Every structure is written in C-alpha cells, then in structure tokens.
C-alpha cells in the first residue's frame, strides 16, 4: 500500500481529479437541488387505502399540470412528476415534497401543488353524485321521517294516558318516555354521522419551509464521493495487478528458475534524454509515472561511476576463471531489455580493462512466452543479465534449457534496474587507476 502511494501518487492524483469531475457531472442528474415539504391535513376518519389514494392524486398529472400553469412553468405535469413526490405521514397528513434549483422555486412549487391538490380533491367530492351516494341519502331522509312520525305518535299516546292515575297508566307513560328518549338518541347519532360525512375536508397546514441548504446528495458530496471511489479503484487495481502479474521480482525466484545463483543486483542510470513515448498511451504512462513497474524491490544506487564499476568487477571475481586462467563468458541479454543491454555493454567495457584475462561475448536473444530462445553453441559459461520484473518463470526456464541444449552452463545471473540519477556522476581521477578488488566469493551481491 505504501509503495503504491509513493510510486504511483501522480496516477492516483489524476484519478482523484477525474473522479471528482465525474461526481460533479453526476450531480447535474442525481442532485435534487433544494427540497422542501408542504403538508395537507385530511379531516375526518380515513382508511389507509384512502390515504394512499389521496397521495397518488397529489402527484397526478392533472394536479401538476394545474400547478405548473399557475406558476407559469414551461414544464408539463409529466416533467414535474420527477420533481414532486407525495407520501402519507401519521395523523391523516399527506406530505408533498418538491425540489427546485433555488429555495424560492422549491417553496413555490410545493405550496402550489398542495393548493391545487386541495382544490382538485374538493371538486371531486362536490361532483360525486353516483347512485350509491344518492340512495344512502334518500334512505337517511326516509328514516328521519319515520322517526319523526313515531315520535309524534308516542307523544299523542303519552298525552292520552295522562289522566289515568292507575298503576298501568304510570307504567305506560314510563315506557313511552323511554322509547322517546331512545328515538331522540338515534336521531342525534344520525345527524352526527351526516355531519362527520360532510366534514371530510382537506386543509393545507400552512406554507412550506424555505430551504436553507441544498438537499443531499449535494455537489460537494458527489464530487468527494467520486474522488474517493476512483482513488480506491486505482489502489485496488494496482494491488490486484501486482497479484496477477507472473513476472518474477525476487532474487530467490529468479535464481530457482535459471538454476543458478544471482550474483549481483546493479543499478543502471538512464542514458541521456528518455526515448519519446509512442502514442497517446505512452505519453500518459510517462506523465503519470506508470512507465516503470512500481512493485520492484529497491536496488542500492551507486555513489558514482567508479563504485558502480566495482560491482561489475566483483561479478567477475565471483565467477573465477578456467584452469588456464582465462574466464570465458557468454552474456545473454533479452531483446528489448534496454537496461540489461546497457549493463552488458558495461560488463564488456570492464572486461577489456580488467587485469585478469576475460573473453566475453554479448549475445542478444529473443525471449517470449511459448518461444524457445536460440543460444550459440559452445562450452563457455553463461551469465544472464536481465531487468527485475520483466520475465516470467517459464521464460527463464526456457532460457536455461536453451543454454543446456547449446552445451553451456549457466553460472549465474545479474539483475538490473534502471534509475534516474540527479546531477553529474562523480568519477575518480584517471591517474589513481582502478581500485584493486580481492577475489572473494562470500562478498554480498551489490555491496560497494
């Protein structure tokens, strides 16, 4: 994780900027802008299904068309349905939520839709004259007349028995009075039911509140979320790519694939100006710093050219010489490996200046998946020079098999990594001569 942040920070920074831009662009579609809610109270007892029906009526195209026309909007009711929603709250309340590009527009739209909803619902109730409603009204009127006639009859009977003071007369008057009281109670209940039926009106519970801040998700939230999302995608992409990469980066793995030890790891400074990138993809890779692998192990950088040459001489010292005192060496370099080729040329230069006799031949071979490299025949020892993280295990096994087929023995490998050197490299004075290097096979690879 730390290597990704240190070596790919420019690419991750570009991803963060792109993610923020994508989030900001998405806010044009996803951000509701400013949002507010107007409440409408439905008086009288209401069933749950009836409340849901009223909420659907509040967002119908008829109501929204009227609201848009009243506000002078160019949007139709179908367009406004994307900005207006209705839900049922507790206490027979229908909450109408509207959003707009400004607090004033959101407040005006919510209030106007609430008013048009109340007007439209009231109009529907006033124009509802279906057969069932008329029949119920006629039955109630007939019942009232029967109750009034019965009450009058009871009153007449009660007056006719007022003169009698017998026990039977008193009982009759008592029963008639109780019956009359029951009829009056039934009449009151009927009137109360009519009043409740006629009292099912709707009332707007005041103007909606003017919003003071945009509703979530805001532009800032979407831009920040996009930046974080692209950053995580970039980090996870680099980690996943490193997991699935089959190219070897460890000295132990490379030595096992070649069947020979890794003699040294050397740094190769970049020569002159970098080669121009090919195509748009190459330019982007160079700008973002992705033109070189990020997951390669660190190679100690030499202090100057003289100390770098010491590393090359120590490779010869570790290899030793044949019985006749001559080190016959075939250096293999994969085609297209610029750093390895530069290191091989440096080996040849050091071999010419070496005091011991070294016969060195540099050969460039084609190494690719599924292709058997071609190595010249001979009995010389082979030194494989390759860059870190450029070859898979099977490719290195193919190189070792090709050397065995040609009669060579792989003596070892030298790993290279190209580095950028700031400032001019320091060199020792020419008169001082090359430093004496003892032949020590136990010296650590890459030590100055």
How many CB atoms are located within 10 Å of the residue 252 CB? 10
CA distance 375 to 383: 12
Residues of the chain with CATH 3.40.50: 251-426
CA distance 315 to 262: 10
The predicted pLDDT at position 32 comes to 80
Instruction: Return the CATH number of the domain spanning residue range 32-216.
Output: 3.30.1890
Is there a contact between 41 and 107 (Cβ–Cβ < 8 Å)?
A: no
Token pair, residue 219, equals 């532009």
Q: Does domain 251-426 have CATH number 2.60.40?
A: no
Q: Which of 322, 274, 280, 212 is nearest to 421 (CA)?
A: 274
The predicted pLDDT at position 214 comes to 84
pLDDT tens across the length of the chain (448 residues): 787 888 788 889 999 999 999 999 998 888 788 999 999 999 878 888 989 999 999 999 999 999 999 999 988 989 999 999 999 988 889 999 999 889 999 999 999 999 999 999 888 876 654 555 666 667 777 777 777 777 777 777 777 666 556 666 667 777 777 777 777 777 776 666 555 555 457 889 889 999 888 888 888 999 999 999 999 999 999 888 888 888 888 889 999 999 999 999 898 887 655 555 556 776 777 777 776 777 777 777 777 888 888 888 888 888 876 666 778 889 999 998 889 999 999 998 888 876 557 788 899 999 887 778 889 888 778 999 999 888 999 999 999 999 999 989 999 999 998 887 655 444 444 434 444 434 333 333 333 3
SS3 at position 217 = coil
The predicted pLDDT at position 2 comes to 80
In 181-315, DSSP assigns E strands to 202-204, 262-269
Cis peptide before 217 (omega within 30 of 0): yes
Residues of the chain with CATH 3.30.1890: 32-216
DSSP letter string, 118-187: HHHHHHHHHT---HHHHHHHHHHHHHHHHHHHHHHHHHHHHHHTSS--SHHHHHHHHHHHHHHHHHHHHH
Q: What is the pTM of this model?
A: 0.60
The predicted pLDDT at position 427 comes to 46
CA distance 61 to 84: 11
CA dihedral 333, 336, 342, 344 (to 10 degrees): 10
The predicted pLDDT at position 442 comes to 36
CA distance 395 to 366: 10
CA distance 25 to 230: 14
The predicted pLDDT at position 134 comes to 66
């Amino acid at each position: 994780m730390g290597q990704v942040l240190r070596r790919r920070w420019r690419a991750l920074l570009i991803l963060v900027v792109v993610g923020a831009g994508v989030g900001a662009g998405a806010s044009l579609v996803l951000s509701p802008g400013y949002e507010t809610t107007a409440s409408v109270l439905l008086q009288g007892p209401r069933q749950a299904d009836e409340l849901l029906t009223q909420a659907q009526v509040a967002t119908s195209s008829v109501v929204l068309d009227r609201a848009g026309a009243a506000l002078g909007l160019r949007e139709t009711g179908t367009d406004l349905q994307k900005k207006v929603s209705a839900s049922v709250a507790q206490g027979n309340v229908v909450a109408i939520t509207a959003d707009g590009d400004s607090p004033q527009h959101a407040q005006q739209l919510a209030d106007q839709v609430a008013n048009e909803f109340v007007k439209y619902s009231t109009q529907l109730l006033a124009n509802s004259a279906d057969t069932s409603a008329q029949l119920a009204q006629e039955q109630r009127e007939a019942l009232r007349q029967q109750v009034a006639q019965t009450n009058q009859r009871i009153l007449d009977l009660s007056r006719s028995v007022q003169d009698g003071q017998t026990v039977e007369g008193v009982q009759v008057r008592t029963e008639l009075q109780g019956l009359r009281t029951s009829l009056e109670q039934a009449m009151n209940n009927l009137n109360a039911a009519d009043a409740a039926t006629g009292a099912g009106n709707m009332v707007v519970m005041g103007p909606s509140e003017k919003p003071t801040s945009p509703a979530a998700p805001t532009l800032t939230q979407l831009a920040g979320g996009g930046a974080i999302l692209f950053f995580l995608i970039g980090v996870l992409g680099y980690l996943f790519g490193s997991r699935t990469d089959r190219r070897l980066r460890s000295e132990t793995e490379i030595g096992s694939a070649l069947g020979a030890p890794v003699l040294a790891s050397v740094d190769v400074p970049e020569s002159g100006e970098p080669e121009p990138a090919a195509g748009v993809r190459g330019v982007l890779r160079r700008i973002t710093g992705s033109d070189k692998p990020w997951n390669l192990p660190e190679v100690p950088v030499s202090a100057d050219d003289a100390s770098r040459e010491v590393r090359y001489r120590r490779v010869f010292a570790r290899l030793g010489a044949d019985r006749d005192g001559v080190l016959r060496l075939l250096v293999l370099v994969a085609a297209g490996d610029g750093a390895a080729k530069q290191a091989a040329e440096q080996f040849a230069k050091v071999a010419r200046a070496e005091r011991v006799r070294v016969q060195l031949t540099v050969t460039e071979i084609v190494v690719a998946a599924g292709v058997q490299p071609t190595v010249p025949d001979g009995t010389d020892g082979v030194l494989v020079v390759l860059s870190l993280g450029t070859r898979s295990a099977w490719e290195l096994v193919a190189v070792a098999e090709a050397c065995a087929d040609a009669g060579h023995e792989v003596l070892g490998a030298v790993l290279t990594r190209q580095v950028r050197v700031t400032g001019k490299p320091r060199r020792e004075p020419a008169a001082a001569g090359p430093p004496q290097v003892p032949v020590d096979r136990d010296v650590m690879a890459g030590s100055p």
